[in-house]
Amino acid sequence: MAMTEPKRARTGADSARRVLDVLFAFSEDQPVLSVKEIAEVTSLPLPSAHRYVALLREEGLMVEGERGRYHLTPRVTSLGRAARAANTVIDVAEPHLRRLVDAIGETVLLARIVQGVPVCIHRVEAPRRLRLSFEPGQSLPPLRGASVKVLVASMGNAERAAYLDRVVADRPDLAGSRAEFENEIALAADRGWATSTQEIDEGVWAVAAAITDGDHIVASLSAACPSFRLDAERKTNILDQVRHTADAISRAVTG
With bands split at pLDDT 50, 70 and 90, how would you rate the model's confidence at 10? Answer: very low
What is the average pLDDT across 9-38?
A: 79
Whether residue 65 has pLDDT greater than 90: no
Q: What is the Cα 148 distance to its own chain's centre?
A: 10
Residue 4: per-residue pLDDT: 46
Taking only the tens place, the pLDDT of each residue in 167-224 is: 999 999 999 999 999 999 999 999 999 999 999 888 999 999 999 988 889 999 999 9
Q: For 145, list phi and psi in degrees, rounded to 5.
A: 95, 150
Residue 245 CA to residue 128 CA, distance in Å, equals 21
Poorest-pLDDT segment among 42-46, 191-195, 245-249? 42-46
Residue 8: per-residue pLDDT: 44
Residue 115: per-residue pLDDT: 78
Collect all residues with Cβ–Cβ distance below 8 Å to 97 and sequence separation of at least 6. Answer: 108, 110, 122, 124, 221, 245
Residue 191 CA to residue 182 CA, distance in Å, equals 14
Q: Which residues of 151-164 are buried (b: 16+ CB within 10 A; e: fewer)?
A: bbbbbeeeebeebb
Strands (E), 55-163: 62-64, 69-72, 107-114, 117-124
Whether residue 3 has pLDDT greater than 80: no
Whether residue 109 has pLDDT greater than 80: yes
Portion of the chain with pLDDT greater than 70, in percent: 90
